[in-house]
Structures are given as structure tokens and as C-alpha cells.
Homo-oligomer: A and B are copies of this chain.
């Protein structure tokens, strides 16, 4: 750790934005999920502020690290390059796998445990782009739907703390 390695935050952010965009996910789509989730609790806050909060949250290093790993695993699974039996498990998006949820949870928890309940709800209801990813059969999307839910939940946590 006593090391001259400079953490590549900017490159990580650019990688994540590009990799999400390649799957049709932008900060706007994520902000929309949180907006619809939180509107009833924060009636005066406009979509614009959710979008700004989403961009802000997406710069957090903890988020970027968990997202990079998640998207890489989906990519390898789509290319059938994971080792067995991990390949079959991820390809089937088995509900008891849990690693996807563990990584998303760590994202959701960045602004405290309020993010956790929002993540769990979103993961179950699959609103907006999450549902679209879940129904897509052209590639393995085992991790990305959780990641998007985790980010949306973190944004919810950030705004809930700001307006309390």
C-alpha cells in the first residue's frame, strides 16, 4: 500500500459510463427510476435534481469499483468465458447466487442503510430500464440490473438525507 499507484478514478468513471451506455443505460434512465420511487416523499424535488445527484453518485469510487466488476462478469458470461459451474449459474441468473446482490448492496449502502430498502424494492419491481434489461435475452444481464438498482437506491439515499 506504500505505493505510488494513483487510483484511476477518471478512467473508472469513463469505463462505467461507456459500458452502461453500451447496454442502453444512462444517468437519465437511472435518475428516472429514483424520481418515480421517491416523488411521493419529496414532492417538491424536480427530475433535474435527481439527474445531478445521479451524476454525482456515479463518481464515487466505491460505486465504480463494484460496477466495473459487475459489468465485466456479465460480459464474460455473455461470451461464455466464465469457468464452470460459474458460467451456468450466472447465465441462469439463479436467485440464490447472491454475488450480484452483494455488490449492488455495497453500492446502495454508500449513503447509509436507507439505500438498502430502496434497492430491495427496485430489484423486485424492476421499473424502467431495469425491467428492460431483465427481459433482454441477447446477453447475460445478471449483474447489470442489480447494479442499476443499486445506483438508483444510492441516489434515493443521498436525496433522502439531504432533505431530512
A interface residue numbers (CB < 8 A to B): 1-3, 5-8, 11-12, 15, 40-41, 43, 61-62, 65-66, 68-69, 72-73, 75-76, 82-86, 88-89, 92, 94-99, 101-103, 105-106, 109-110, 112-114, 116-125, 160-161, 164
Contact = CB atoms under 8 A, between A and B. Distances in A.
B106 A86 contact: no
A160 B2 CA distance: 11
Contacts of A12: 85-86, 89
Contact of A112 (B98, B116, B120): B98
A84 B14 CA distance: 11
B85 A40 contact: no
Given A117-B124, A120-B117, A102 B66 contact: yes
A101 B121 contact: no
Nearest to A95: B1
